């Protein structure tokens, strides 16, 4: 009996060989590629990707395939980690045989800086096929790829990728889905892994908060074989003597998942002997001479009867590599919902990404608290700062409009810091008073109508947000934290600051006493980042 052990690591191609004549069975150990971790934000780390799956089978019968079929081995790659930025691209997908790759992580929102989703891992696939047929003509075994983690937002970490599968309804059904994007300021979702059934991609959430992770691909397990989906970033089968450190490992925040691995052990019985001094010796090596140089013969067979090939001996199974059959550049269209602008839920889902199919695994790090600055003209004005996660968010600071949209996840926190610093240090008291006179009532009106579907409130809210964010971006450019300014922001500064000064100059003699506390507190450090 000859046991021939072949080990395959990720190399971006499909390994193909003829099934040796006389092959009795194979033993397999397969690990899929791990999912990548999501990108970071102020709320913390991106969610971890889940590990690639492990599938094993001892003595899988190969007698019907020996000498008549080819065998292919495709090792899945790990999904790349997400990144951080404005509209940051999601992690690239882990590749595998054609349509068995993972999905691509969802991009972060175009406003502010948030984390993008991690890519899904590629499945590890073993098949047999006839010459001229598709490589995946007959599937022997598949170890599913892990899912990507969700990108973080300002208020929470990203959700973890799931170790279990929720099958995509997209076509091809073996290809992992991409993670969902975010339309405003917030994290992009993790992608699904490739597999027998590709995993679904995660969804975004409302406001500047972390997105959900994706789902792993599923397995094809030979009869009486076994599968282990792993736990979190830790793959199953790590106690196997064939496991190597880092294989199939789920990626932590912004880290690429570990590539998969395959070990195939061929059982090719042989029993040919030759006689030496009345003693029979087993034939286990043969050579032939080529131009005066002895070359090793890796296998020899003899035909018994009309079609039954028996191995004289078998020392190796030679695999060629085919790169053209490998890899999809992207995954399936996501079934997850994109993140949107708005105020995050005060009690967002923090459950683990398990069989519920909704993701989770997020940690809420900071919520928004309230501190009253007094009442002016019957309107309470407040400033907000980071507090414990269970405190209710709400309120404004003397920036009023800017902070309102920051609460909704629609205003970059660095722009808010720069806006506050500039306005405190560079604007006159008259300009500040002129701003508060109209801005505080405007925000109160917006709060009352923020859920309205009528065109007029929507127009007012959208226009106010546009002008406020444009001015802040222009200030950030002037202060060196942005590489590009805003033409709209320049116009808002010219007209808005000048107009507020004239209003404040005219009304200051009549309202100065009402704004004394505002002016005093505004000269302190009221930045939200402390």
Q: Return d(Cα 258, Cα 33) in angstroms, integer.
A: 6
Same domain for 275 and 323: no
Residue 107 structure tokens: 């991009």
* Intra-chain end-to-end CA distance of the chain, in Å: 72
When mean pLDDT is compared across 261-270, 284-293, 297-306, 409-418, the lowest value belongs to 297-306
Query: Hey, how many other C-beta atoms are within 10 angstroms of the C-beta on 407?
Result: 19
Span 469-496, pLDDT tens digits: 999 999 999 888 888 899 999 999 999 9
Residue 361: what pLDDT? 77
Comparing 495 with 385, the larger pLDDT belongs to 495
**Residue that the structure tokens 């054609």 belong to:** 98
Residue 312: what pLDDT? 54
Comparing 291 with 461, the larger pLDDT belongs to 461
Same domain for 34 and 148: yes
Same domain for 95 and 114: yes
Residue 370: what pLDDT? 39
Residue 16 structure tokens: 């193909």
Query: Is pLDDT at 356 greater than 70 in this prediction?
Result: no
Confidence of residue 383 (pLDDT cuts 50, 70, 90): very low
**Residue that the structure tokens 């002008």 belong to:** 467
Q: What is the mean pLDDT of residues 299-328?
A: 74
Residue 378: what pLDDT? 41
Same domain for 214 and 76: yes
- Does residue 344 form part of some domain? no
Q: What is the mean pLDDT of residues 379-398?
A: 37
Backbone angles phi, psi at 227, to 5 degrees: -135, 145
- Does residue 354 form part of some domain? no
Task: Check: CB of residue 196 under 8 Å from CB of residue 220.
Answer: yes
Query: Is pLDDT at 332 greater than 70 in this prediction?
Result: yes
Mean pLDDT for all residues in the chain: 85
Segment (H or E) for 4: strand 2-9
Confidence of residue 210 (pLDDT cuts 50, 70, 90): very high
Counting every residue written for the chain, the total comes to 530
- Does residue 375 form part of some domain? yes
Same domain for 386 and 274: no
Burial of 213 per CB tally in 10 Å (0-12, 13-18, 19+): buried
Residue 411: what pLDDT? 81
**Residue that the structure tokens 């005093």 belong to:** 520
Same domain for 308 and 190: no
CA 276 to chain centre: 64
Comparing 107 with 440, the larger pLDDT belongs to 107
Residue 309 structure tokens: 């090939």
- Does residue 72 form part of some domain? yes
Residue 351: what pLDDT? 63
Same domain for 300 and 176: no
Span 490-506, pLDDT tens digits: 999 999 999 999 999 99
Strands 379-387 and 286-290: unpaired
Strands 84-85 and 138-143: unpaired
Q: What stretches of 269-377 adopt beta strand conformation (E)?
A: 273-276, 279-282, 286-290, 293-297, 299-304, 308-314, 320-322, 367-376
Task: Check: CB of residue 70 under 8 Å from CB of residue 96.
Answer: no
Q: Return d(Cα 190, Cα 122) in angstroms, integer.
A: 14
Span 426-457, pLDDT tens digits: 889 899 888 988 988 898 898 888 878 889 99
Strands 54-61 and 226-228: antiparallel
Q: Return d(Cα 338, Cα 388) in angstroms, integer.
A: 28
Residue 216 structure tokens: 């792993």
Q: Return d(Cα 191, Cα 213) in angstroms, integer.
A: 7
Confidence of residue 406 (pLDDT cuts 50, 70, 90): confident
- Does residue 351 form part of some domain? no
Q: Which one-letter DSSP state was computed for residue 510?
A: H
Span 83-99, pLDDT tens digits: 999 999 999 999 999 89
- Does residue 360 form part of some domain? no
Same domain for 132 and 204: yes
Residue 155: what pLDDT? 85
Segment (H or E) for 438: helix 429-449
Task: Check: CB of residue 176 under 8 Å from CB of residue 195.
Answer: yes
Query: Is pLDDT at 345 greater than 60 in this prediction?
Result: yes
Contacts of 283 (CB under 8 A, 6+ apart): 270, 272, 273, 274, 300, 312, 313
Cis, peptide link before residue 438, omega less than 30° from 0? no
Residue 277: what pLDDT? 79
Comparing 384 with 455, the larger pLDDT belongs to 455
Residue 362: what pLDDT? 85
Comparing CA positions, the residue from 333, 338, 354, 389 lying closest to residue 160 is: 354
Query: Is pLDDT at 382 greater than 60 in this prediction?
Result: no
Residues β-bridged to residue 268: 2
Q: What is the mean pLDDT of residues 14-26?
A: 93
Same domain for 294 and 400: no
Residue 112: what pLDDT? 84
Q: Return d(Cα 19, Cα 126) in angstroms, integer.
A: 12
Confidence of residue 64 (pLDDT cuts 50, 70, 90): very high
Q: What stretches of 62-162 adopt beta strand conformation (E)?
A: 70-74, 84-85, 114-115, 124-129, 138-143
The share of the chain scoring above pLDDT 90, in percent, equals 58
- Does residue 352 form part of some domain? no
- Tally of domains within the chain: 3
Q: What is the dihedral of CA 416, 420, 426, 429, to 10 degrees?
A: 130
Span 164-189, pLDDT tens digits: 999 999 999 999 999 999 999 999 99
When mean pLDDT is compared across 117-131, 148-162, 420-434, the lowest value belongs to 420-434
- Does residue 347 form part of some domain? no
Comparing 12 with 341, the larger pLDDT belongs to 12
Same domain for 398 and 382: yes
**Residue that the structure tokens 């991106």 belong to:** 46
Query: Hey, how many other C-beta atoms are within 10 angstroms of the C-beta on 357?
Result: 13
Last residue of a domain, one of 314, 344, 378: 314
Q: Which domain holds residue 416?
A: 367-522
CB contact burial 240-251 (16+ within 10 A = b; e otherwise): eebbeeebbbbb
Same domain for 240 and 152: yes
Q: What is the mean pLDDT of residues 350-360?
A: 48
Same domain for 232 and 243: yes
Contacts of 404 (CB under 8 A, 6+ apart): 396, 443, 446, 447
Confidence of residue 224 (pLDDT cuts 50, 70, 90): very high
């Amino acid at each position: 009996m000859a046991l021939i052990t072949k080990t395959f690591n990720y190399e971006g191609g499909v390994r193909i060989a003829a099934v040796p004549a006389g092959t009795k069975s194979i033993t397999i150990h397969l690990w899929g590629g791990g999912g990548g971790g999501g990108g970071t934000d102020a709320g913390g780390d991106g969610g971890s990707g889940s590990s690639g799956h492990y599938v094993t089978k001892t003595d899988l019968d190969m007698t019907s395939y020996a000498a008549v079929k080819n065998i292919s081995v495709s090792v899945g790659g790990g999904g790349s980690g997400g990144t951080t930025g404005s509209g940051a691209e999601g992690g690239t997908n882990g590749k595998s045989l054609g349509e068995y790759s993972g999905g691509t992580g969802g991009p972060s929102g175009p406003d502010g800086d948030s984390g993008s989703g991690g890519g899904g891992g590629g499945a590890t696939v073993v098949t047999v096929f006839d010459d001229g047929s598709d490589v995946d003509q007959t599937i022997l075994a598949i170890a599913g790829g892990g899912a990507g983690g969700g990108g973080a937002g300002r208020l929470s970490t990203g959700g973890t990728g799931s170790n279990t599968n929720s099958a995509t309804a997209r076509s091809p059904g073996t290809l992992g889905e991409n993670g969902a994007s975010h339309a405003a300021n917030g994290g992009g979702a993790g992608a699904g892994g490739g597999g027998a059934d590709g995993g679904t991609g995660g969804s975004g959430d409302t406001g500047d908060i972390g997105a959900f992770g994706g789902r792993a691909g599923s397995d094809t397990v030979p009869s009486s074989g076994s599968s282990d989906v792993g736990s979190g970033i830790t793959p199953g089968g790590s106690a196997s003597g064939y496991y190597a450190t880092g294989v199939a490992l789920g990626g932590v925040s912004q880290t690429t998942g570990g590539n998969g691995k395959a070990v195939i052990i061929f059982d090719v019985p042989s029993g040919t002997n030759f006689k030496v001094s009345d003693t029979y010796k087993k034939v286990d090596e043969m050579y032939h001479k080529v131009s005066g140089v002895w070359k090793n013969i890796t296998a020899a067979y003899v035909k018994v009867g009309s079609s039954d090939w028996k191995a004289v001996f078998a020392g190796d199974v030679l695999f060629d590599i085919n790169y053209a059959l490998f890899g999809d550049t992207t995954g399936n269209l996501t079934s997850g919902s994109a993140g949107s602008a708005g105020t995050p839920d005060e009690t967002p889902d923090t459950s683990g990404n398990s069989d519920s199919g909704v993701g989770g695994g997020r940690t809420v790090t900071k919520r928004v608290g309230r501190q009253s600055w007094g009442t002016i003209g019957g309107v309470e004005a407040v400033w907000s700062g980071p507090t414990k996660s269970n405190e209710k968010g709400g309120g404004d600071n003397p920036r009023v409009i800017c902070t309102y949209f920051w609460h909704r996840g629609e205003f970059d926190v660095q722009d808010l810091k720069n806006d506050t610093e500039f306005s405190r240090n560079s604007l006159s008291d008259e300009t500040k008073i002129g701003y508060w006179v109209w801005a505080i009532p405007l925000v109160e009106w917006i709060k009352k109508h923020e859920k309205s579907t009528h065109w007029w409130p929507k127009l007012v809210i959208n226009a106010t947000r546009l002008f406020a964010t444009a001015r802040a971006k222009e200030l950030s450019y002037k202060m060196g934290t942005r590489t590009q300014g805003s033409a709209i922001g320049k116009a808002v500064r010219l007209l808005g600051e000048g107009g507020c000064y004239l209003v404040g100059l005219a009304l200051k003699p009549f309202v100065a006493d009402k704004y004394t506390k505002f002016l005093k507190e505004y000269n302190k450090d009221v930045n939200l980042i402390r």
